[in-house]
């Protein structure tokens, strides 16, 4: 009886050995797979961190270049700063927010995306800042010329030309000089008489069944886009009807526009498409105006940039996002 039990026990052990060997092999294979997966995950994580660091460095360089350019422009027009205190305060706030995001040691992709959006917003504010400084320069140039006796100078030159009627060559030279001066003055006056705008805004609009409009940033609920702005006083500009053009650039970089709607850009000389326009009655006072854009196709998700133009000159810009 004892011998039979011993034989059975040996047979059971013999049967268990292959199973144990298989389990051991499976354990070794599993450990090897886990080591390989960990190594792949580590490599992927390292690559992601490296990409984030590169993106962060690019954003830092872009930000520093923009700030350096803005500081140079500000230094050149230091005497104008008192008229632009509010805009400079907004610029400083944007700069500080961007610095805080880029100074983080391990910035996330969401934080870098936020920094990128703030840099784009700062670029728009900076461009508006430069335009307003240029408008002040043009206005001051015009007023200074008038105050220092521009009219008397033109009369004096006219008298000189009349005295040289008999001298054809010299008369031609004087006439050319006067024409060049007049052309330069007209350009200065024209640029200074361009409309100035403030508080430019754009947003998606949903039209309810009762006709009431509500703002929305949901692309599926957006029926049209509304662009609003404050038309500012301009002592150089004549009162009357003014065409204000809006150019809306969609997320894909394409201008939302109908066929044949274009204007000549006064700065580049190129034909540029515009989206919509409004005719405002300028009387010298500050007034708020809005215009709309509707289309037959649904609006897309993404960032939209809106630019305003008058007489071919860029006068303001803003952006908004549909999600």
Lowest mean pLDDT, pick from 32-36, 63-67, 213-217? 32-36
- My answer on whether 185 and 204 are in the same domain is no
- My answer on whether 175 and 211 are in the same domain is no
State the pLDDT at residue 97: 77
Average pLDDT (283-305) is 94
- My answer on whether 121 and 236 are in the same domain is no
Position 139 in a domain: no
- My answer on whether 272 and 245 are in the same domain is yes
Lowest mean pLDDT, pick from 96-100, 177-181, 201-205, 275-279? 177-181
Average pLDDT (22-30) is 70
Of 86, 102, 130, the position where a domain reaches its end is: 130
Report the domain count for the chain.
Answer: 3
Position 141 in a domain: no
Q: Which residue has the higher pLDDT, 198 or 76?
A: 198
Position 65 in a domain: yes
Average pLDDT (59-83) is 65
Q: Would the pTM of this model clear 0.85, i.e. be above it?
A: no
Which of 43-57, 138-152, 160-174, 260-274 has the highest average model confidence (pLDDT)?
Answer: 260-274
Model confidence over 159-175: pLDDT tens digits? 766 676 666 666 666 66
Residues in Cβ contact with 123 at an 8 Å cutoff, skipping those fewer than 6 apart: 66
State the pLDDT at residue 235: 87
Contact 289, 280 (CB under 8 A): yes
Position 158 in a domain: yes
State the pLDDT at residue 264: 94
Residue 282 pLDDT greater than 70, yes or no? yes
- My answer on whether 255 and 157 are in the same domain is no
What is d(CA 58, CA 38) in angstroms, rounded to the nearest whole number? 30
Tokens read off for 177? 């000089």
Position 8 in a domain: no
Residue 198 pLDDT greater than 70, yes or no? yes
Average pLDDT (80-102) is 69
The three-state secondary structure class of 75 is helix
- My answer on whether 60 and 93 are in the same domain is yes
- My answer on whether 125 and 169 are in the same domain is no
Other CB atoms within 10 A of residue 278 CB: 15
Position 112 in a domain: yes
- My answer on whether 202 and 316 are in the same domain is yes
Q: Report the percent of the chain where pLDDT is more than 70.
A: 60
Under DSSP, the state recorded for 148 is T
- My answer on whether 230 and 179 are in the same domain is no
Residue 218 pLDDT greater than 70, yes or no? yes
Contact 121, 319 (CB under 8 A): yes
Domain that holds residue 232: 197-322
Position 6 in a domain: no
- My answer on whether 188 and 201 are in the same domain is no
Position 52 in a domain: yes
Contacts of residues 105-112 at CB distance under 8 Å and 24 or more positions apart, as own/partner, are 106/49, 107/52, 107/56, 108/52, 109/52, 109/55, 112/52, 112/55, 112/56, 112/59
State the pLDDT at residue 48: 59
């Amino acid at each position: 009886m004892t011998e039979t039990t011993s034989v059975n026990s040996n047979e059971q052990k013999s049967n268990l050995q292959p199973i144990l060997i298989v389990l051991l092999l499976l354990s070794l294979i599993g450990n090897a797979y886990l080591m390989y997966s960990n190594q792949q995950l580590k490599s992927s994580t390292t690559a992601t961190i490296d990409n984030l660091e590169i993106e962060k460095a690019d954003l830092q360089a872009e930000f520093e270049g923009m700030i350096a350019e803005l500081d140079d422009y500000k230094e050149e027009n230091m005497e104008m700063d008192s008229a632009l205190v509010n805009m400079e305060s907004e610029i400083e706030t944007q700069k500080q927010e961007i610095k805080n995001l880029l100074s983080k040691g391990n910035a996330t992709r969401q934080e870098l995306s936020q920094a990128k959006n703030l840099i784009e917003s700062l670029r728009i504010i900076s461009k508006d800042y430069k335009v307003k400084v240029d408008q002040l320069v043009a206005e001051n140039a015009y007023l200074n010329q008038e105050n220092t006796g521009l009219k008397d100078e033109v009369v004096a030159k006219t008298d000189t030309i009349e005295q040289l009627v008999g001298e054809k060559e010299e008369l031609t030279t004087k006439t050319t000089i006067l024409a060049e001066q007049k052309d330069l003055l007209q350009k200065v006056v024209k640029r200074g008489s361009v409309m100035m705008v403030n508080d430019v805004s754009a947003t998606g609009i949903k039209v309810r069944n009762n006709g009431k409009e509500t703002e929305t940033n949901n692309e599926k609920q957006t029926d049209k886009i509304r662009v609003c702005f404050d038309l500012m006083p301009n002592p150089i500009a004549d009162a009357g009807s003014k065409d204000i053009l809006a150019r809306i650039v969609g997320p894909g970089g394409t201008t939302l526009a109908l066929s044949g709607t274009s204007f000549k850009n006064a700065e580049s000389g190129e034909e540029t498409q515009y989206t919509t326009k409004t005719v405002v009655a300028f009387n010298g006072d500050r007034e708020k105006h809005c215009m709309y854009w509707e289309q037959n196709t649904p609006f897309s998700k993404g960032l939209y940039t809106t630019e305003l133009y008058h007489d071919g000159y860029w006068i303001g810009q803003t952006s908004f996002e549909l999600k």
